[in-house]
Amino acid sequence: SVPLANAQWGDNLPVLFQEKVIRSFENAGYAQSISRTREGVSGDFQLLVDIRRFHIATAPEPAAAEIEFVAKILDTDGKIISASTFQGNAPAKGADAQAYVSAIDEVFGKLQTELLEWTTGVLDSVPRPPVVVAPPQAPVQPMP
């Protein structure tokens, strides 16, 4: 990999990655089921992602975007329920920054979809405890 002259991320890569993944879950109808860690909300499960590769490989030619990450789903006790590796690449259709960004967008879009499908599939297969509904209590009558 060769860095692009004067190229830099607009923000920290893990933050950008998290924002894109959250947006994909929200766009798929899971807006009420997902939150950012900094929001201080905890749910029944946590999705941890370890980014292993996220770059443009310029050799061998042609240049290509390469992304690889490991995702783990943890329960409230921190136990790993499932883990999977996601990887992909897409050739750049040119040798300029715009071609590289387009290649990254292409492969990341594909992997986002795979992550969403895997995550929802795992969570759909996790047994849920039964919901217990307590009988309503009679209203308290004031004493005469």
Q: pLDDT per residue over 61-103, tens digit each? A: 889 999 999 999 998 888 999 999 999 999 999 988 899 999 9
pTM listed for this prediction: 0.77
Give 116 or 16, the one with higher predicted confidence: 116
Model pLDDT for residues 32-52, shown as the tens digit of each residue: 667 666 666 667 788 899 999
Q: Where are the domains of the chain?
A: 13-125
Q: What is the pLDDT of residue 1?
A: 44
Q: What percent of the chain has pLDDT over 90?
A: 43
Q: What is the CATH number of domain 13-125?
A: 3.40.50.10610
User: What letters, b where the CB count within 10 A reaches 16 and e where it falls short, cover 45-75?
Assistant: bebeeeeeebbbbbeeeebbbbbbbebebee
Place of tokens 């947006």: 23
User: If DSSP states are collapsed to H, E and C, what string results for 5-34?
Assistant: CCCCCCCCHHHHHHHHHHHHHHHHHHHHHC
